[in-house]
Chain A
Amino acid sequence: QSALTQPASVSGSPGQSITISCTGTSSDFGTYNLVSWYQHNLGKAPKLMIYEVNKRPSWVSARFSGSKSGYTASLTISGLQAEDEAHYYCCSYAGSVIFGGGTKLTVL
Chain B
Amino acid sequence: QLQLQESGPGLVKPSETLSLICGVSGDSFTRRAYYWGWIRQPPGKGLEWIGSIDSSATYYSNPSLKSRVTMTIDTSKHQFSLHLRSVTAADTAHYYCARITIYGVAHDAFDVWGQGTMVTVSS
Contact = CB atoms under 8 A, between A and B. Distances in A.
Contact of B96 (A45, A96, A97): A45
A29 interface: no
Chain B interface mostly: strand
A20 to B, nearest CB: 13
Contacts of A47: 113
A51 interface: yes
Most A C-beta atoms less than 10 A away, residue of B62, B98, B107, B111: B107
B101 interface: yes
A102 B47 contact: yes
Contact of A45 (B60, B63, B114): B114
A102 B39 CA distance: 14
A34 interface: yes
A58 to B, nearest CB: 11
Interface of A: 1, 3, 32, 34, 36, 38, 40, 44-48, 51-52, 57, 89, 91, 93, 96-102
16 contacts: A1-B63, A32-B103, A36-B108, A36-B110, A40-B47, A45-B96, A46-B113, A48-B110, A48-B111, A51-B109, A91-B110, A96-B49, A97-B37, A97-B62, A98-B49, A99-B39
